[in-house]
Every structure is written in structure tokens, then in C-alpha cells.
Structure 1
């Protein structure tokens, strides 16, 4: 059991904040979306070390080899600038996820290069932004991410995400959202890629103060705890050519 604090990095492209788009962006997220997410994690995980980075955080977007190696869980929020994330950075993040880095992909991050690469599908979905009520239903209360979370979580205004969500069958379906317009959406799902644990969670648009919602913050904190593997030796899964006779050498005793 690790005795050191969890090391969490909240990454946000930060473009909406720079453009003040929407015009009330600075009012609802004065420290940026990444700042609001980080504040929530610090409040619920007081022993963790929480840092932030954006697309403008240097040539590596704040995601250098050294930073990723020193991170247990990476949270990813993107929307307008997916194509501006360097391919070499995406490859680096993918390598770390396969080696055991936890990854939380949030809202429009479903179209991020890293999510599409890890899942291998288009990750497209239906959407409509009419500021409707969203109900986030907990459909697996036994999972660590859903522990202590209200059922349903009520979000007064939110962008609608709907099916079909083009993703592979998840390891676990945790949340299903329903919207006032009648649509439903698999809003909380988990995957395993290599040694890494991935949690996608959709609530959280730039136009609405969703990341201040106490239940949403609780889900993210639970997701970080679940995805973190601080005692894991970070290394990509590998295979090697094994000579004939390896079993007979005493390494493994076959059972009949």
C-alpha cells in the first residue's frame, strides 16, 4: 500500500477561457475548467497533489515524459482544439496509459486523439445544446466510482449527449443519462487498456457550471481513486520469445 500522496494532473485545452467563449465563461469558471476540476479534487482528496496544465503549457502541452512519469492519474478535457494536440504527445500519453497511468476523459474529450486512439472507434455521438435538465442514473451501485453518489444526479442545465455513442462495449457501464428531450446516453463507462484504467464521464460543458456540482465532483474524486495504481511499476505490457523447454526447467509446474 503506497504511503505517498496521489499525483493528479488536470489537463484542459484552455481555448474557451482564452477566447471568453461563451461570454459568461469567466463568470462560471474564473480559474478555468481545469481550475474548477482541480479545486473539487483538492477538497475531496486533501492528501493528493493536484496540478494543472493546458494546451499552451509549452511545446509538450505540459505533458512531457517527466510529468507523465510523475503522474498517477490524468484528467483530460478538450473541445475546440483536438487537432492541435501534437501526435508525439498523444503517443506518449498512450504509452503511459498502457503502462498503468490512470486516465479520466471528460465531456467533449470523447473526440480527443488519445481517446479515439485507445478505443479504436470514431467515438462519435448525438448532441444538442438546449440547456436541458440531465438526470445521471447510477446503474452499478457496487462499483467504487459510484459509491456514495446520489441517484439520480440532477443537473439543471446541460448539453445533451445521446446515442448512438460509437464506443466498444465497456468493461463497466456505470451511469446512464436521460434528458428532457427524451434522449438517453451511456454517460459513465470504464475501459482497461494494457495496465491502464480509463473512465469516461460526460457531464461537464463549458456553458454550464457543472464542475461546481458537488455530486459531479464526488464522481470525479471516486474515479481518480479507482484509476490510480500508485504501487504499480509503470511499464508497457510486453511479450518475448520463450525457448522450448521453459516449463521443464522448473519455472512453472503444469497442472492436469
Structure 2
């Protein structure tokens, strides 16, 4: 089965910052999609903030098995009705991978139900990512740890709910540590948060980071049919759920006697 991925990006830094444009001439979204498309089982396309409906219409999300989300400076520009649409898709069974500063995006905050705040420092420090779940599908093909020579520091405390699994823990040259790979399940949807990816560093060209993203796409994809209305709370009338007591009584009595014979 081909995994259909949509890579969403604000696409703001690339247009306003020459350094970012030089690092990611095809945009961060283009580089991530390229990495995912190296796997023949994945078909990745892109969407950006500037498109109508931010490129995330109902039809687009219905055709997306896993959504990747990169955001940083334009969280507030994402329309609330699009956030509702994305969350409904997750509850219905779409996978969602949040990257780097997407921890502060509207969809992540909504799905976590928490502030999602943290400490940070942009100083181009070395990051070592330790694998804390060596048998997890997201860490397949990796061993022990890997390093990124230059990254933005994220530090604890990280204001998120307790995850299902902590897949990576990062250490930074300044001494801080951070839970940098976390899994969640919301409704029928699988969610993975992955920390690396500051816009001024070539993180998404790193072979280990690209392997994690491919693995995450496979892990987050849910082959089951989507739930049609994940927020429904249907009432089941009594006559559909239960027989009248007087009709059930004799049969229960007979069943009970049969059990002792």
C-alpha cells in the first residue's frame, strides 16, 4: 500500500530570510517531501500556508494518510476552521507528524490539550539524540545515538502530556536535555513529535533525520478505514439495546439451569 503524505509548511522564512532560502532553496517542505519520496512506498506532496484553505481542504485531508507539519513564526495565521478540520482528520484516523517548532502550532496544542511550552536557545550547538526505544519502528535502521553538529536548543520542562512512548532524548552542548521524540494517540490517529529542524541549519538533509521521518510516516499511517464522524455521541434507544425484562427473564433462568446440568 502506498502511504500518501502531505508535507505542510508555513513557507514564510524561505521567502523573507536569505540564509534560510540558501539552505532550503526548494523550501523546507520541498526538502522533507524529497526525503520521504526516496522511499518507494511513500508518495509525498506539499501544501503551504499561502494556498487557499492553507492547502488543507477536506478532500486533501481525506486523501492524506499522514500529514507532516512544520511551523514557526506564523502559528497565529493558521485559520481556526482549518485547525478543526485537521484535528477531526486525526481523530478519524489520519496520522500526524509534528516537526521542531510545530510544538507551538494550533493543531498540536489542540490535540495535546496543554501549553506545549519549553525553554530554548539558538546558538548552533551540537545535539546528540539518544535512542530510548531501540525496538520501536521509528528507530529502525538506527543504532544507539546520532549527532547534529548545529541545532537550536530545546530544553525541559516540556509542557506536554505524558506520551505513549519516549523514542528519543536529546542532550545539548550547553548541558540541557529534552524529550525529543514522543508518540501519542488521539482518537484513531497516531501522532509523533520530532524535535530537530531549525530553519537556518541543514537538518533535513541529515541521513539519520531523513530515516526517522520515513520511519515515522510508516508508523503513523493507519490502514483502517476512517471513522466517518469521530465526534459523534449517538443515542441508542432502549428498545434497540434491551429486551423487556419479562421476556429476558425466562430465557436467563433456563440458561442458568442448563449450566448446572
TM-score (norm 1): 0.91
Which residue is equivalent to 1:35? 30
Structure 1 residue 14 corresponds to structure 2 residue 11 = yes
Name the CA distance, whole Å, in 2 between partners of 1:247 and 1:141: 49
Structure 1 residue 168 corresponds to structure 2 residue 165 = no
* 1:127 aligns with one of 116, 120, 130: 120
Which residue is equivalent to 2:257? none
- Residue correspondence of structure 1 range 120-159 to structure 2 within 5 A: 120-159=113-152
Which residue is equivalent to 1:219? 212
Which residue is equivalent to 2:201? 208
What number of residue pairs does the alignment pair up?
A: 244
Structure 1 residue 192 corresponds to structure 2 residue 185 = yes
By percentage of residues, which structure has more helix? 2
- Residue correspondence of structure 1 range 242-253 to structure 2 within 5 A: 242-244=236-238, 246=241
Name the CA distance, whole Å, in 2 between partners of 1:46 and 1:143: 21
SS at match of 1:135: strand
Which residue is equivalent to 2:82? 89
Which residue is equivalent to 1:57? 51
Deviations 1:148-179 (A, max 9, x none): 12321110000000000000000111100000
Which residue is equivalent to 2:72? 79
- Asked if structure 2 preserves the Cα contact closer than 8 Å seen for 1:150 and 1:215, the reply is no
SS at match of 1:27: helix
Q: Which has the larger radius of gyration?
A: 2
Structure 1 residue 241 corresponds to structure 2 residue 230 = no
> Which shows bigger deviation, 141-150 or 189-198?
141-150
- Asked if structure 1 preserves the Cα contact closer than 8 Å seen for 2:3 and 2:217, the reply is no
Name the CA distance, whole Å, in 1 between partners of 2:100 and 2:229: 27
Name the CA distance, whole Å, in 1 between partners of 2:182 and 2:242: 39
RMSD, matched Cα = 1.7
- Asked if structure 2 preserves the Cα contact closer than 8 Å seen for 1:100 and 1:235, the reply is no
SS at match of 2:67: strand
Deviation at 1:188, TM superposition (A): 0.3
> Which shows bigger deviation, 229-238 or 8-17?
229-238
